[in-house]
Amino acid sequence: MTPRQILADFLRHEVFSLGSLSRSKSITVLAVKAQTLGIEKDISHTLAIEVLDDLVLAGDIGAWTSFGEPMLLFLDRRATAIDEQNTVIFGGAPADGELFGLLRRIATDTVFEQETSEFSPNLSEVETQSIAALVNDGKWSPSVSLSPALRKALLHLGCEPDAKLSAPADDILKEWLLTLTPASQSGGLDVSQQIVVSEDQNARLVVTAGPGCGKTHTASARVIELVKSGVSPASIHLITFTRVAAQEISERVTSALADQVYGAGIQSFTLDSFAWHLIGSIEDQAASGGFDRSIRRASALLSAREQRLLDWVGRIGHLIIDEAQDVVGIRQELCTQLIAALPASVGVTVFGDWAQAIYGAWSDQSKKTSSSASNLHSHLSASEDWKKLELSFNHRAGSSKLKALASNAREALGDTELPNKERYLLVREMLENAASTQGADLLDQRIPWSFDNLILTRSRMAAETASARLSLRGRPHRLKLSGHTQVVEPLIGAICAGKTAGELLTQSDVEQRMEALSPAPFGWTSDEAYDLLKSVAGTGKAVPRLSDIVAKIEQSPILIAHDYIGQSGPLIGSVHGAKGKEAEDVFFLMPPIPDHEDVDWDEEARVLFVAGSRASKRLHLGRTRPVFGSVRTDGSRWISGRGGGLALSGNDGLSPLPGRDAVDAIWEATFDQPRCTFRRESVDSEWHLVLQNGKAVAIAIDPLAENLNYLADGALSLPLGSLRIAGSSTVVATRRDGKPIGVSLLPVLQGTARSGSQFDEKGNA
């Protein structure tokens, strides 16, 4: 018991035994009692008055005047139901119920002879926001001035001045805030979201946002509020984890500010594209060497305070970073250097969630000094210079099972008193309890099969294996591509192939290519295709230049790119690839309990939590066989056992052949989706990707070529197997030095490349 609880309990017993008691005498007795608890004399008197007044305000004891003397009075027992589990009692015998802050509570279903009232305080919008701030701070600071109505509401909710919220009080506050009337919520925001949105534009905030808490909605509203308060849209830089999230926020902001001249121009990036733009502002070959090279280069220049880069950063008026818990390794270093380079007057809003941190394996373990430095969110949360806020309410979970999973699993993940393996097993059990279907097979007819639903696996290799199985059974689906692989609208490459970077693209050029393509582009007219090219070029010129299109394709713009292959059916991918996604029905192929050494049980538990929290209505669980294999240092994925080999999805490691013949063959294969393999003329010559009709359509480059050499073991070809053409993507054709020379088309692969003999354990080397 806290000192305040001890004093409250003592006063209840005194009033109960005597029936009434002088207020002044009560204060004196309470002050003496406080001193026996080790409280200083000058503080004990003030504390006695506060406890007495709180019990009177809450209705636990009565107050009246007898012949001018203020008195305290015993009251008969009454009760107020807070929620379905908790009822607060007032008056009556002090031994009734259990302590709940300064008051007492009983279970709501307890037989109670007196009438029970409902908890329905009449609070203003400002007062409800104060309660949300209390939830964020996790403590009721006695220095904060509160209205009597709000103070009474907090006492009824089991809160105590100068003490942390108990778990029941915290839960009740959050649940109660969800019941607030729309009038107390601004712009469709719940109270916790409104607090984030209304923070000062110069504030530096770390916002913890669990699954379904409306993080994207809040980030969009934050941007809108910044613009309305006078921040230039072009100076607001938004860095998100995926292009889809960046596009979604941009569209929401543009729509909300459509009636305002200054509403356009928000700068939205993924972290990788942000680094690309940063370096591109001072160097000609920003993209040469890939995103990782740009990130390392940008970090180094920011660390060195390179003036041209600082001038570019100086344009930022407010920075928003999303999914900070998954910003690890070199990307965490870039963000840290970027924030350090900003003037102190520039506000930063960082969103993240410790319970969804599942990219620990991507960070540089050798440089970790503590768990607090493992990702950007935990690093900033540990800093006293940042204000910590939390989005408190799950708006996604649409069933009682999923709501219980969201809250209980999160609590289990944070229970550091449990051994980490026990936490994992507990979260696993919670997923099973929340599932609408258990033990389902991938082809189970009970699983809803629609475009909007998700099929999740623990690993990328497991997703590819599941996709291959579905393809053999002819079941339509889409496969989430790995890494930075993007499918850029293939019609662009099919039209532009054969032209050099400096050429203009005329309406006549487009019409001729559209007529030559077989099969004819479905759903496209030549006018629509030309409008697309002009839009991609983005120069506003009547006749676009190919070099402008090349520059935009190198950035994989959201409007012409997506990160999956396939046309219909649910999306299959790893849990990591599903970050930011949700679906009414989620089918999770839950892996067996890990039995290998050095298992990171905490991260495995968080992976389960992320998988289960993608569902808004129903979670379906299936079992999957372990997929054994390894990922090499070059990023290649090797699957061992029967049907194993080099797993390929996307077009990494492929380079286009010159001319239009290969492009036309790829265009046709995009629709036919034939099997394919790799061949070469001699052991010293290049590997070519060839269709089953023998037509060569691309060249293999390192590290793919090196892996093919390993697989072939001296042979000149690999057998036809499960590898097939699953689609195609527009790419930039370059010279050997990396300089762009035009636009072409590459096939998108799906399947496994195998040697002529049974794949053996060497594939795991």
The two tokens of residue 633 are: 């240092």
The two tokens of residue 591 are: 């892996």
Residue 392 CB neighbour total at 10 angstroms: 23
Please answer whether residues 271 and 241 qualify as being in contact, where contact means their C-beta atoms are separated by less than 8 angstroms: yes
Please state at what angle helix 400-413 crosses helix 601-612, rounded to 10 degrees.
160
Residue 602 C-beta-side C-alpha neighbours within 13 Å: 16
Residue 583 assigned as binding residue? no
User: How many degrees, rounded to 5, is the angle at CA 197 between CA 195 and CA 198?
Assistant: 65
Residue 482 CB neighbour total at 10 angstroms: 21
Residue 214 assigned as binding residue? yes
Which residues neighbour 347 within 8 Å (Cβ) at sequence distance 6 or greater?
200, 201, 202, 203, 204, 205, 318, 319
Side chain identity, residue 60: D
The two tokens of residue 728 are: 């195609």
Residue 653 assigned as binding residue? no
Residue with tokens 């969009």: 220
Cα-atom radius of gyration of the chain, to the nearest Å? Answer: 32
What's the distance, CA 161 to chain centroid? 35
- Per-state percent for the chain, helix, strand, coil, to nearest 5: 40, 20, 40
Residue 212 assigned as binding residue? yes
User: How many degrees, rounded to 5, is the angle at CA 208 between CA 207 and CA 210?
Assistant: 140
Please answer whether residues 464 and 649 qualify as being in contact, where contact means their C-beta atoms are separated by less than 8 angstroms: yes
Please answer whether residues 489 and 532 qualify as being in contact, where contact means their C-beta atoms are separated by less than 8 angstroms: yes
Residue 324 assigned as binding residue? no
What's the distance, CA 326 to chain centroid? 8
Please answer whether residues 386 and 349 qualify as being in contact, where contact means their C-beta atoms are separated by less than 8 angstroms: no
Residue 230 assigned as binding residue? no
Nearest to 52 by CA among 72, 80, 32, 67: 72
Residue 382 assigned as binding residue? no
The two tokens of residue 476 are: 């339509």
Residue 335 assigned as binding residue? no
Furthest-apart CA pair in the chain: how many Å?
Answer: 113
> Which residues fall in the annotated binding site for ATP?
209-216
List residues forming the annotated binding site: 209-216
